[in-house]
Structure 1
Amino acid sequence: MECRVGCAACCIAVSISSPIPGMPDGKPAGVRCAQLTADNACRLFGRPERPAVCVSLQASPDMCGSTNAEAFAYLEALENATRPRRL
């Protein structure tokens, strides 16, 4: 499955704990990645400095849904379900 052009839900909704160029401490959930262009394309796509977590994430019908809103809702729910609980 190919990513929906302009969606970028995975580049905004989820947290990334590894460094990203322009975001040395990673990216919090809900924050737009510094490497997204104005039209929501990844500046690092296909480049060696792209974080491994981004390279390994594959589009799927469950994750992407049929609209950008569905993709954001799914990824936000996943982020909430996997967030470490504070003691």
Structure 2
Amino acid sequence: MPKGKPAGVRCIQLDEQNACLLFGKPERPPVCGQFAPEAAVCGKSDGEAMATLIDLEQLTA
């Protein structure tokens, strides 16, 4: 996303399984590589992780 990803907008580089299509490629944005998964963010399910990410995006918008 040339101007970054707005809060609340799904990344266009995610596939149907929420895997990054740019993982391991040089064009992957540095911020994505710096965001390491951890239990406090990921929770116990995809739904918990997405809810946390949405909250973080809204708090930092």
Question: What is residue 76 of structure 1 aligned with on the other side?
Answer: 54
Residue 8 of structure 2 is aligned to residue 43 of structure 1: no
Question: What is residue 52 of structure 1 aligned with on the other side?
Answer: 30
Larger of the two Rg values belongs to structure:
1
Structure 2 unaligned blocks of 5 or more: none
Cα displacement (A) at 1:50: 0.3
Distance between the aligned counterparts of 1:25 and 1:66, measured in 2? 31
Moved more, 74-83 or 63-72: 74-83
Root-mean-square deviation (CA, aligned residues, Å) is 1.4
Shift in CA distance, 38/70, structure 1 to aligned 2, threshold 3 Å: closer
* Greater helix fraction, Structure 1 or Structure 2: 2
Aligned-pair identity in percent equals 54
Structure 1 unaligned blocks of 5 or more: 1-22
Distance between the aligned counterparts of 1:56 and 1:69, measured in 2? 22
Cα displacement (A) at 1:45: 0.2
